[in-house]
């Protein structure tokens, strides 16, 4: 702190004249006390977090980005002294890594991956589940998109089509898996019979599934289409909920197509084709 600037702001050192003495809680008194404080730690201590810059990144996030472990587990490794930055053990939470720093995690040098984002217009007969070995996996469709492993945001069964986002950003994947996620998803649903208007109104007012109340942002018939074609907007990341809504009203769902996801659309994106997100789309996705 620059004492001369502080003195100017606080009025310290100026003659008081006939002015009344300021109370102990006034700003000048507080400023004067702060000048006498001694630094708790040395400025050049290697374990003190560096000043925040645009390219600086928290150490636990740096570790998580490398794929070594989650942020929470990274904190445990840091506290236990198993992480070094430029050869110096770091045990403080909030430490920030600068570009060019060498991070050693439990004996191995880490290299964080560049965050990448892609969107795919998923066709039928591909699944996001690695457990369904009898069906082809969506990862086949984005081979060559990146040199680093990509994961889909959310799940889709083999019969659901439409927008599916892929990334190596674990924070992004975790964010969209939260039940209170606020971004809208829009689906076009094909039913086995016309949706009654009274059922449409009931769905619009909210549906209870397995004891949980689900609120629908919007539902409507598709313009110039049969009343078996329904558009529905909701926030849940779980596609299975869309099917469950209509099945609870005794309709069979023939097809579900996700036409929008958190502001992204499949406009000019043919079925089975992927593309990288633009910088603006990435910003919008992070701000959802």
Q: What is the DSSP letter of 4?
A: H
141: nearest Cα among 269, 282, 1: 269
Local structure of 64: helix, strand or coil: helix
How many angstroms separate the most distant Cα atoms in the chain?
91
Give the closest residue to 60 by CA, choosing from 80, 43, 37: 80
**How far, in Å, are 24, 179, 189, 190, 193 from residue 247 at the CA level?**
70, 21, 12, 12, 12
> Looking at the chain, which runs of residues are DSSP E strands?
57-58, 83-85, 88-89, 96-97, 103-105, 108-109, 117-122, 126-127, 136-137, 151-152, 160-167, 185-191, 207-209, 212-214, 218-221, 229-234, 253-261, 264-265, 274-276
Query: Which residue of the set 7, 101, 157, 199 is catalytic?
Result: 157
Q: Is 106 a catalytic residue?
A: no
Write the CB contacts of 103 (distance below 8 Å, at least 6 apart in sequence): 59, 62, 63, 66, 83, 84, 85, 97, 109, 110
260's tokens: 């929008």
The DSSP code for 182 is -
241 CB-near residues (< 8 Å, 6+ apart): 209, 214, 234
| Cα–Cα distance, 140 to 121 (Å, whole number) | 13
Catalytic residues: 157
């Amino acid at each position: 702190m620059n004492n001369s600037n502080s003195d100017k702001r606080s009025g310290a050192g100026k003659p008081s004249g006939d002015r009344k003495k300021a109370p102990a809680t006034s700003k000048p008194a507080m400023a004067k006390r702060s000048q006498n404080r001694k630094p708790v730690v040395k400025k050049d201590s290697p374990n003190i977090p560096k000043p925040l810059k645009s390219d600086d990144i928290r150490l636990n996030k740096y570790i998580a980005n490398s794929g070594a472990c989650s942020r929470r587990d990274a904190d445990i490794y840091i506290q236990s002294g198993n992480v070094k930055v430029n050869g110096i053990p770091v045990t403080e939470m909030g430490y920030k890594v600068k570009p060019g720093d060498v991070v050693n995690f439990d004996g191995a040098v880490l290299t964080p991956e560049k965050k990448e984002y892609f969107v795919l217009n998923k066709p039928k007969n591909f699944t996001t589940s690695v457990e369904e070995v009898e069906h082809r996996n969506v990862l086949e469709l984005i081979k060559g998109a990146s040199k680093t492993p990509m994961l889909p945001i959310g799940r889709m069964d083999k019969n659901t089509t439409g927008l599916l986002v892929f990334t190596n950003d674990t924070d992004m994947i975790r964010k969209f898996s939260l039940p209170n996620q606020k971004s809208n998803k829009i689906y076009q649903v094909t039913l086995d019979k016309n949706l009654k208007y009274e059922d449409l109104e009931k769905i619009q007012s909210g549906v209870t599934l397995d004891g949980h109340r689900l609120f629908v942002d919007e539902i409507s018939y598709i313009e110039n289409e049969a009343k078996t074609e329904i558009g529905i907007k909701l926030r849940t990341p779980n596609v299975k909920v869309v099917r469950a809504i209509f099945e609870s009203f005794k309709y069979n769902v023939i097809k579900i197509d996700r036409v929008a996801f958190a502001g992204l659309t499949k406009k000019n994106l043919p079925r089975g084709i992927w593309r990288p997100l633009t910088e603006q789309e990435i910003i919008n996705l992070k701000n959802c």
